[in-house]
Structure 1
Amino acid sequence: MTESAAWDAVGDWYHSWFTGTVLTCVSRRGARDAADLVFRVFRRQQREKFLPGLEKLGIAGLPPAVAAARYHYLSNFIGGVGVEYVEESPRKAWIRYPPPRWIWPGATICGIPFEVNAAMLRGWHANNGVMLGCLGLGFVCTGQTVDGQPGLEGYYLEHDHDLPPEDRLRFARGERMPPFDPAAAPALPSADWPAERIAKAKRGYAMEYARTVMQEAVALFGPMEGGHLLGLAARLVAMQHYAETAKALGAATFPDFMVAMAAAEGDAAEAVPQPDGSAIVTRRGCALMRGVADPHPAMMAAWEELLVGALAAADRFATLERIAPLEWRIRPGE
């Protein structure tokens, strides 16, 4: 197992939790609540990442339409997302996410309603002009994969007048993005973005979605309802993905899995066998909670459901007992 493979496994794990949370919200609370959640996730992500990201990517100061589209192209490229870019002029630039869609992987896309996917665009794409101080910048969506079209695509267009909020996102399905030429697309400066940094950023990209949806679900639905939603999704996703994730991490036992996951997330951990046949696993931190100001206990409880679900898949007779904030006793089944 290489470090890169372990980072990929962690990224897939948290990506699945994010997508699972959205789908759980759709199925348990309905499309409107799920759209509200997705809107808040992407608006928070934009508020925290967009302007600093322009600087990190070396594209600050470009014309607003070009800067916005290049940001989406480069940041998604780093995150391992399939993405295309076409620049028509300094005032018009296209972005396209061809299938398979990263955010709704595999068959999960069948459970995403139009308004939930559109909430992503309302939360981020439609607000880039506001963030850039250019109220004439809007986003025109020309296709959505969830509607059966060959990709999510659209273009940033800078108008010669300010746009009211309701016009900053519009849909024009009769238009189509020109062919993508990878040779003409923006590139990351290789000196600033070596392979190891990109691999770590890909892991962080997925973890950031999980971190954000965790905060927004609790803020939107309250600790009890939001925590239950997150925890249910965590348990289901972990049961489904434990076997492949443990294999990717080279973990032969459940304590090994917990230690390997912690290490791949960037945290130290150890598993100590006990005389009674149990094992005590201790983590020295929780990477997912770093950067979360005053996390509610419901968030930690929901995250712990990932462990509960994984153990249920590994050994349904085993038990997991938390004996300290980041310490657990695992008792094997009889």
Structure 2
Amino acid sequence: MTAAPDLAQQAQWQRWRAVADLYHAYFTGLILTVVTRRGTADAAEFVFRVFRRQQQERFLPGLKKLGIDHLPPAVAAAQYHYLSNWIGGVHVEYMYESDTQAWIRYPPPRWIWKGPAICGVPGDVSRAMLRGWHANNGVALGDLRLGFVCTKQSVDGQDGLEGYYHQYDHPLELDQRLVFARHLEAPMFDAATAPALPVASWPKPRLEKAYRNYAMEYVRTAAPVMVQLFGVEDAGYLLHITGKLIGMQFFDEIAATLSTTRVGAREFASFLNALLAAQDDAAETTASEGAFEIRQQSWKLMDDVADYHRACARVLEGLFEGLAAGCGRHIGVQMRTAAGGRPPLVWTIG
């Protein structure tokens, strides 16, 4: 038996979850920002590229990490979505029918469209997620017979997003890899027969960190995609305004976990230090004449992003400005970066 977590561990896990909540909200907000400021077509293209990029980077390595890369393609694909999303705190169900057909279902409430956000998501944007990821799993596995059949979509007013992976007896053309069959319905979910992660290789501390990283990964993927798709100026604006709005809305929730109250620059500087530590970034703070300088030595989330652009730093700039506004009026936040927008990121608060 493993020892029960002590109070320090539990506090750390709560801080990680606060970071997850912030990045989760940012990603959902970013999609809505594109919907409202650029339109449905651009938002669908953005979501498609984000999920295709994640699928290409994460799917095959994820199968190995989860220990399911030996399973038949339809079963492996469905179990991947069940297990990986479960780690991230997403409501998801898995139903096995045969080695050539397995279902997944995302019941309400939907993680990605949390709360009233679901009311602002067009159907084309939700379908783009399926085109980006689910429809490409057969290609990634080297089996062009594998496709995804979607039977419901939450954003269309149905009681969840669901569908099944099916291995056909012939290779599928591009437009056959995602099809819709709204007259069908998923079998009932039975938790007792669902796959589970091996406890030995997925202990509680690993699960808690993975929960945080799950939400952060979406932002890691989305920021460079935004720059490549919409250009530096437009992307920088969209990344920044989303961050500011989300920061203002979520300061109270995040601050409650990080033990920060609304007062002024000193308290906000302390809050930022705690936030950076909770996302595994080292920082140093100096004070001078009522102003505070935080030297953020790393931004680990973007460390190995090959097409990172300095405009990606607008994510943090917007978030920190919004969080400052949520903390109190007239708390100024200014960012300076090293060459290429890389760390150290120097924040002046006053």
Q: How far apart, in 1, do the equivalents of 2:315 and 2:21 lie?
A: 18
State the match for 2:48 in structure 1.
Answer: 39
Other structure's SS at 1:160 match: coil
Q: CA deviation at 1:255?
A: 0.6
Q: Is the 8 A contact 1:281 1:327 kept in 2?
A: yes
Moved more, 62-71 or 313-322: 313-322
State the match for 1:228 in structure 2.
Answer: 237
Post-superposition CA distance 1:1-46 (Å, at most 9, x none): 7011000000010111111110000001100000000000000000
How does 1:87-98 map onto structure 2 within 5 Å?
Answer: 87-98=96-107
Post-superposition CA distance 1:122-153 (Å, at most 9, x none): 00000100111111111000101101111100
Post-superposition CA distance 1:71-114 (Å, at most 9, x none): 00000011111110000000000000110000110000000000
Q: Is the 8 A contact 1:280 1:327 kept in 2?
A: yes
Q: CA deviation at 1:192?
A: 0.6
How does 1:48-63 map onto structure 2 within 5 Å?
Answer: 48-63=57-72
Other structure's SS at 1:25 match: helix
Q: How far apart, in 2, do the equivalents of 1:94 and 1:281 lie?
A: 48
Q: How far apart, in 2, do the equivalents of 1:116 and 1:43 lie?
A: 13
Work out the percentage of aligned pairs sharing the same amino acid: 54
State the match for 2:299 in structure 1.
Answer: 286
TM-score (norm 2): 0.92
Q: CA deviation at 1:324?
A: 5.2
Counterpart check, 1:264 vs 2:278? yes
State the match for 1:305 in structure 2.
Answer: 318
Q: How far apart, in 2, do the equivalents of 1:122 and 1:55 lie?
A: 23
Unaligned runs of 5+ in 1: none
Other structure's SS at 2:68 match: coil
Q: How far apart, in 2, do the equivalents of 1:314 and 1:287 lie?
A: 25
State the match for 2:25 in structure 1.
Answer: 16
State the match for 2:4 in structure 1.
Answer: none
State the match for 1:145 in structure 2.
Answer: 154
Q: Is the 8 A contact 1:228 1:302 kept in 2?
A: no
Counterpart check, 1:237 vs 2:250? no
RMSD, aligned α-carbons: 1.2
Q: Which amino acid aligns with 2:160?
A: G
Post-superposition CA distance 1:147-185 (Å, at most 9, x none): 111110000000000111101101111111111010100
Q: CA deviation at 1:288?
A: 2.3
Q: CA deviation at 1:315?
A: 2.2
1:113 to 109, 113, 122: 122
Other structure's SS at 1:80 match: coil
1:188 to 187, 197, 203: 197
Q: How far apart, in 1, do the equivalents of 2:35 and 2:275 lie?
A: 29
Q: How far apart, in 2, do the equivalents of 1:322 and 1:26 lie?
A: 28
Unaligned runs of 5+ in 2: 1-9, 262-266, 339-344
Post-superposition CA distance 1:296-320 (Å, at most 9, x none): 1111133211111111221221212
Q: Which amino acid aligns with 2:173?
A: P
Q: How far apart, in 1, do the equivalents of 2:307 and 2:37 lie?
A: 28
Other structure's SS at 1:2 match: helix
Q: CA deviation at 1:222?
A: 0.7
Q: Is the 8 A contact 2:224 2:307 kept in 1?
A: no
How does 1:197-216 map onto structure 2 within 5 Å?
Answer: 197-216=206-225
